[in-house]
Structure 1
Amino acid sequence: MNNDAGSTPIVREGAILPLVVLLQEGFDEQKRFAACALANIASHNDENRVAITREKAISPLVTLLRAGTDGQKEEAARALGNLGINNDAGSTAIVREGAVSSLVVLVRTGANPQKEWAAFALMQLANSNDENRVAIAKEGAIPPLVKLERTGTDDQKTYAKFALENLAKNEASSTAIALERASKRKPLRHGRFEIL
């Protein structure tokens, strides 16, 4: 379902609202599958992202991100990241709903898929909105993103790198990122000497 041709008819047929209801009222697996479906529907289509935002999916996705099962948190992070693509209103709403603190927690302590999708979501939220960049930096995202950039899986490193690049579009964040990266560099040892 990761294509424009498949997801737009689904949206036109009114599938988003029942998925939002499942996010709120479904059993655990139904909530996870609803978040997964919304993530897929939002993945490559601006119209779909706007429609999902309009149907008020962001608040229940943030609730799952904060207090859901591990699978729900992973899918909610992926859905929120996809909703942030080319969707400034959606990105702003995601930050206002308080998603950033939960995303930072997942980058710091989540399972590998959670770290990956949380870094992806932060990358999208910081892409084109300076207020979001400031909010993300204030929530302490820079240190765990720098760590993930150094120690994560290949996809985690990629998303962390681009999240940091987007955050660095803000001057204060750029300085904080440079300082954090410098503090994490290990000196090279050569014989008796340390090279910084």
Structure 2
Amino acid sequence: FLLKERAQKWQQHTRSFNKKKAFKRPSQQGLEKAYNGTLVDYVLKRGLDPQQCLSHGIFMAKRKFSGIERDCLAFAFYEGSQIINIQYKTTDKQFSFEADCELIPYGIDNVLGCDEMVITEGLFDAEAMIEAGFANTVSVPNGAGTDFKRSFERFKYSHLADIKTVYIAGDNDEEGLKCRENIAAYFGEARCKQVE
């Protein structure tokens, strides 16, 4: 009975959420399943395994930044088998998202059915946690500027329904502390633990 009630709530919630705005799906054209030497070096310098990154949906792509086409990493935001959005990131930390696509938590499927969740401020941080063995990790999509209501609310009765403990693994700079506060405010301080 409880599962049926939760499924009905989730369907009603999703229908009302989806009525608000129609989102595009990103083009997957140009996503490459291999890195060039520059990106391999960059990923290795961050302490990550390039093959693991590729297997987790971090592709290579070409994207224009300030009018110049650059090689960059393309972080695919999956929900199920569907790519909902893509963030493109250069080695000098410039980034952009696909226009008019929904901004959801990165790695949201990682917490489906889990009672604990690790949440990071950035996509590389989430990948580091996953490679360290914490598969139940997500990242806020847009750092301290994340609109939690817009990004997380749709998953309240599905992916986040069983979460009892939220481990906040944010940065210790000003933006990171602001992000930590926002995460705790959204999920409720009583179920949040700060990772130092």
Return the TM-score normalized by structure 1: 0.31
Return the TM-score normalized by structure 2: 0.31
- Greater strand percent: which structure? 2
Highest relative contact order (Cα 8 Å, sep 6+), 1 or 2? 2
